Chain A
């Protein structure tokens, strides 16, 4: 047996098909003897029917076009950021090369770098850089001691990585709804 207080919960469960056969039987038994609860369950039934037919306005046909316009705008912004990232990376690499060639010159390369860079000098310099890189792989602290500009180069590379990280984060960060630069298409 259930009392009137238990009817509301059981009625909702029955209308959703969540009640067991035994629960449905208990409810029926109670409703048979209680006109007030019978009326309440009828109200629930009408409420469920109404909930299944909501008065939500239809979606406007151009909404999808608006979404795609915003996606394309986001794609364009992403392309711009990619170009900026590429330019930044090229700049850092160029700066590092310039520093290596004309700035913190490794003592072993000074003879080759004293004169205006010729093809032979560049070849010699490159060979030395490769050698130094191999040495660095073996013992990075030793490399820092041998190459005077090494610390500066490392700082530049760290800065470049940080910049890349920021740019990647910027691509991923969702645009605010209130962002003024969004190509919002409303009908």
Chain B
């Protein structure tokens, strides 16, 4: 069902890309309307600042407009756009955070970890609903993990698509996704019902 919807959207997107390449701004507006939510979600998860996320979303689409001629017809547009979004967001984070927050290794050497242990889950539980608590927990994850969780669970991309976007081996993507979810489970275990 989701795949069929994506295929239909992909065909529409290909026609819109062709029209936009010819300078048709209305066609580009349709592309923006179709994918702004997906791009915004990435930007928001990387910044947790709605205004900054909107700025980044605009930046992503501006670059998309300029680079449309590098898009290969026949390929799905969404991963191409999300690759742009990922690059724009990571670069923006580097600019805004020239001195990285204190990080320590996670013991397995493939990702950074905030020095903070994250919010105390029982403290979080008192503050609001599960979704809000989940967002606060995700905000505590390293950038890589936040991104990968969003690409998988919000954008519903396949492992292969995520590996293509992040330019990482498939195995690395699977391992990072596993670790990210495991951390979330541990952070949220008091409200999710498992103390292990």
Q: Which residues of A are at the interface with B, using a C-beta cutoff of 8 A?
A: 8-9, 12, 36, 39-40, 42-44, 46-48, 50-57, 59-60, 63-64, 66-68, 70-72, 74, 172, 174-175, 177-178, 184-187
Q: CB within 8 A of B54: which of A43, A51, A187?
A: A187
**A71-B28 contact given A56-B154, A177-B92, CB 8 Å threshold:** yes
> Would you call A40 and B196 a contact (CB within 8 A)?
yes
Q: Which residue of A lies closest to B44 (CB)?
A: A56
A74 and B28 CA atoms in complex are apart in Å by 14
Contact A68-B55, Cβ < 8 Å, known A12-B178, A175-B62 = no
- Residues of chain B within 8 A (CB-CB) of A55 are 129, 131-132, 134-135
Indicate whether A74 sits within 8 Å of B130 (C-beta atoms), given known contacts A39-B196, A47-B188, A60-B54.
no
Give chain B residues whose Cβ lies under 8 Å from the Cβ of A43: 185, 189, 192-194
CB neighbours of A12 from chain B (8 A): 178, 181
* Bound Cα distance A187, B29 (Å): 18
Residues of B within 8 A of A46 (CB): 130, 192-193
Task: Name the residue in A56, A66, A70, A175 with the highest tally of chain B Cβ atoms < 10 Å from its Cβ.
Answer: A56
The 8 closest A-B pairs by CB, nearest first: A43-B194, A55-B131, A51-B153, A67-B61, A43-B192, A46-B192, A64-B32, A50-B134
| B25: min CB distance to chain A, Å | 6
Please tell me the number of chain B residues within 8 Å of chain A, measured between CB atoms: 49
Distance between Cα atoms of A60 and B17 in the complex (Å): 24
How many pairs, one residue from A and one from B, have CB atoms within 8 Å of each other in the complex? 122
Known: A54-B154, A63-B40. 17 other contacts (CB 8 A): A39-B194, A40-B185, A46-B192, A47-B185, A50-B134, A54-B150, A55-B129, A56-B154, A63-B57, A67-B32, A71-B62, A74-B65, A74-B66, A172-B66, A175-B62, A177-B92, A185-B58
**Chain A binding surface, main DSSP class:** helix
Give the complex CA separation of A53 and B181 in angstroms.
15
Tell me if B58 and A66 are in contact (CB < 8 A): yes
